[in-house]
Amino acid sequence: MEYVLVDEEDDCPQLVPIPGKQNISTEQIPVTLITGYLGAGKTTLLNYILTEQHNKRIAVILNEFGEGSALEKSLSVSQAGELYEEWLELRNGCLCCSVKDNGLKAIENLMAKKGKFDYILLETTGLADPGAVASMFWVDAELGSEIYLDGIITVIDAKYGLKHLMEEKPEGLVNEAARQIALADLAIINKTDLVNEEELNQLQETVRSINGLVKIVETQKSRVDLCQVLDLHSFDSKSGARLQEKLQLVKTTRPHLDKNILTVTFEVCGSVFEEDLNIFIQVKNTLFIAKLSVNCCLCRNYQLVIFLQNLLWEKTFKNKDGLVMNVIRLKGIVSLWGKTHQVIVQGVHELYDLEETPQVWSESEPRANRLVIIGRNLDQEVLQQQFIATVLNKKNRD
């Protein structure tokens, strides 16, 4: 069942079913976001994918939208080696702020005109915040869009990557290069021909210290095995089985350069207690309801919801220096009371989502909740304690 949000009186929105939307075909097209600092090798990667790929109709969208104020921007789309241009009207001249209204619609219009693509690659500018673009695609997919977010790739310049990561930003601002790494599912360290082994190791370590979950590959001329790039299913439950193993390998990191961004992980045994209460969750974020409505049976798990809300929206968690924790990406597997299947938790900035995976908890193994959180000012101990205090039922802890 699909829902739309009807925001009647200020803060009490209601969900209303959209008639006739139930039977929408689920054949959605994956979109992969390609981020990376200026000159890292994004376009080289796109060209490589287009020439390597033979059995997919891939559309490449180059988001060359600068900071300028022009209302119309062109959208270059290349498909099967053919290049054409579309004109987009952007209200505020920046794709990340308007992708939902315009960018996505433009892509859908394009498909209506030119026939469906099998895959979409979207290159964002070196400075755009990929998190904003990513969350829009993510939410839209839940709302019945034809497109879903498959993964986020960042291309890093082996020679200048460290320098970009070390750039000091004014108080409160995140280093863009670090943020791109924090969000990524795959980091491609490109131009390895320009560095020696020691430099390469140092960069790898730094990338790993920011994002303990990201897969790192090294390339020259962005030549990477396509199965490492496409169809990653990083945001859906299809990654469930692999994810559990992967999460177990992740370690809490010590920040190397950007003092702030790091990865924190913890495991708490037991199941999250599912209160069978008809509590109306106080919601401030409309996108959140939109997402929860899709998984309505899970949202009753309000203790977990409260933990996530405190972490992502209320930002009530502080580290030991009193600095507010700020999450860029979150991933985990939780065990809900009464559910035989593992549940995936995903978060990008302030959005999060719970989804049951096809993976069943094994009878012989104790159930556990494992979270990996990437962001600023995180403290592993504090987060684990908060998780236990907020989420785990008392009965469970004793």
Ligand X SMILES: Nc1nc2c(ncn2[C@@H]2O[C@H](COP(=O)(O)OP(=O)(O)OP(=O)(O)O)[C@@H](O)[C@H]2O)c(=O)[nH]1
Site for ligand X in 238-297 (CB under 6 A): none
13: nearest Cα among 224, 267, 290: 290
Site for ligand X in 122-141 (CB under 6 A): 126
Instruction: Pick the closer one to ligand X by CB: 36 or 332.
Output: 36
CB of 102 to Zn ion, least distance (A): 12
Site residues, Zn ion (CB under 5 A): 94, 96-97
Part of the chain binding ligand X (CB under 6 A), chosen from 38-46, 110-118, 209-217, 316-324: 38-46
Q: How far is the CB of 157 from Zn ion (least distance, A)?
A: 23
Size of the site for ligand X (CB under 6 A): 17
Quote the longest CA-to-CA distance of the chain.
64
Is residue 52 near ligand X by the rule CB under 6 A? no
Q: Does 220 bind ligand X (CB under 6 A)?
A: yes
Window 143 to 182, contacts with ligand X (CB under 6 A): 155
76 binds ligand X, rule: CB under 6 A: no
Exactly one of 41, 103, 161, 212 binds ligand X (CB under 6 A); that residue is 41
Asked if residue 36 binds ligand X (CB under 6 A), the reply is: yes
Pick what 97 binds: Zn ion, ligand X, none; C-beta below 5 to 8 Å, kind-dependent. Answer: Zn ion
Closest to 258 measured CA to CA, from 362, 192, 175, 319: 175
Range in contact with ligand X (rule: CB under 6 A) among 36-44, 84-92, 95-103, 225-233: 36-44
Distance CA 123, CA 174 (A): 21
* Residue 44 contacts ligand X per CB under 6 A: yes
- The listed partner (ligand X, Zn ion, none) that binds 96, CB under 5 to 8 Å by sort, is Zn ion
Q: Which stretch binds ligand X (CB under 6 A): 217-225, 279-287, 343-351, 354-362?
A: 217-225
**Binding positions for ligand X, rule: CB under 6 A:** 36, 38-44, 126, 155, 190-191, 193-194, 220-222
